[in-house]
Every structure is written in C-alpha cells, then in structure tokens.
Amino acid sequence: MCGRYTIVVSMEELMLRYLNEQPTDRYHTPKYNVAPMQNVTAVIHDGEKNKLGELRWGLVPSWASDDKIGSKMINARAETILEKASFKNLIRRKRAIIPADGFYEWKQLGSKKQPMRITMKDGAIFSMAALYDTWLAPDGRKLSTCTIITTTPNSLMADIHDRMPVILSPEDEALWLNRANDDVERLTALLRPYSADLMRAYPVSPIVGNVKNDTPECIEEQILLF
DNA sequence: CCAGACGTTGTT
DNA sequence: GTCTGG
DNA sequence: CCAGACGTTGTT
DNA sequence: GTCTGG
C-alpha cells in the first residue's frame, strides 16, 4: 500500500514541474515523512490549467456523516475502484495527482519490519494517482480530502510488499487530470504498476515509523537491520 | 421496500 | 449519494 | 503506514 | 485486539 511518502523538493520545483510557470513567493517546506490525516500538496486541473493546492490525506466522501471515516480511506484499490460506492463516482470528475519524490513501505521479515524508501533512479518527482472529494461539515466548513490509488507490485516492489501506489508516467498526467475526460476505460487503463526499471529501493532508519520524525535522517540510507 | 454500509492492509 | 443485503 | 490509546466520575 | 490520530 502506500501509507507514507516524501516530497523534499521546493515549491519552486513543484511549480515548474506541474504548472509550467515561474514560481511565486510561496515556499514549500521539505517533507520527509508525509502521513495520512495531514494536508498534502496535490495537483488538480481547474478546466483551464493545473493548480497546486492542499488536500487532507484520507478520503471523506461528500455523503459522510462525520469525518472519522477519513483515517480508514487512505488508499483505493485500482482493481475494485469501479465497484466501490465511495470511489466509483469520483473516477469521472475528481481525479488528482499527489507529487512525491519517494514513498515508504515496511518489509516484513519474520516478526520485524524493515522500512524501505522507494524513489525514481534519477531522483525525479513522480505523480501518484489520487481521487478527491469535498465534504461539508455540520458547521458549514468545507473539507477537501484525497485517497491514493494502489495496485499490484512490480518486480522491484514484490520483494518488499504486495501493494504499491499507482504512479502515472509523465505523458499520462494530462489525460488523468483532464476534467473533460470521462472515458472510464481509458482512465482505469492508467492504473497499473510503474516500470521497475525506473525505480530503486533502499533501507532507511526505523525512526520513520513515528510521524513526529520529519527530518533528513528519514531518507538516509541505512544498513539493513535484519 | 428499508437499513446499513460505504475501505485497505496484514495476519491467521 | 449509491449500493448491498435482507 | 505506525504509534499510541483504549474510561468515567467528581472535584478543582 | 482494535480504533484513532498523525
């Protein structure tokens, strides 16, 4: 699955990568340990252009009676996305991209868990496929939330875990974000494992387990624990 | 028809 | 809101 | 995903 | 064991 990730690059780099425009004054703090229930930087298309904004990770569907459900809805399985009441209608009009430069998975070794960080070999920013929705709180406030889509592992990931986030290749990003596109078949065809050849994995410190730790040490390569 | 769920992961 | 189960 | 809590009553 | 919070 995908329950933690990193986005260490500057807002400047994100703007250049997704908006194709020169950065403004905003500054994006490097994130070494992004966790569910936090606000994350996302890309959506407003009909004219890409926009960067914040979504809380953990989907709260528009019909939910309270927002507690969000902590459970951090991932959506690509294989069943069209069958689930919570997701099937979002695929048409509520698609987003969550930019990342790494994600974490915990490899189970007997009773121990070894955290691993997975990145692109060239260190590039990549796009995780996500869905979002907006929930209206009883007090009238709007809460926009998201869920990251998962799929089966590629050959690199299979050794670590049985799920991985859906990563869109750069040439598929526009198709995914385009609001006018409601071709569900074409959209779901994008939800497949990314090429293992372009990725690498390395062990990191167990300090990444605690969400309070959001420091460069989280992404430092470590000797395998076990 | 109404009531109740609506999710994924991992582990056994 | 929409689907499933009874 | 992992870490950490998991509860009520009454009193201040 | 299971749920909540981050």
Which CATH number fits the domain that encloses residue A112?
Answer: 3.90.1680.10
Q: Which two tokens stand for residue A166?
A: 């859906």
Q: Going residue by residue through chain A (226 aa), what tens digit of pLDDT does each one get?
A: 789 999 999 888 898 999 877 666 566 689 999 999 999 999 999 989 999 999 999 999 999 988 988 998 999 999 999 988 889 889 999 999 999 999 999 999 888 899 999 999 999 999 999 999 999 988 888 999 999 999 999 999 999 999 999 999 999 999 999 999 989 999 999 999 999 999 999 999 999 999 999 999 999 999 876 7
The β-bridge partners of A43 are: A52, A97
Please report the ipTM that was assigned to this predicted complex.
0.84
Asked about A146 being catalytic, the answer comes back as no
Rounded, the Å distance between the CA of A222 and C1' of B4 is 48
Q: Looking at the domain assignment, is residue A224 inside a domain?
A: no
Q: Looking at the domain assignment, is residue A225 inside a domain?
A: no
Nearest alpha-carbon partner for A206 in A116, A118, A111, A100 = A116
Rounded, the Å distance between the CA of A68 and C1' of B11 is 25
Out of A48, A105, A217, A220, the active site residue is A105
Q: Looking at the domain assignment, is residue A53 inside a domain?
A: yes
Amino acid at A104: Y
Asked about A171 being catalytic, the answer comes back as no
Give the structural domain span for A67. 5-219
Rounded, the Å distance between the CA of A35 and C1' of D9 is 36
Out of A2, A146, A173, A218, the active site residue is A2
Task: Give the number of domains in chain A.
Answer: 1
Q: Looking at the domain assignment, is residue A175 inside a domain?
A: yes
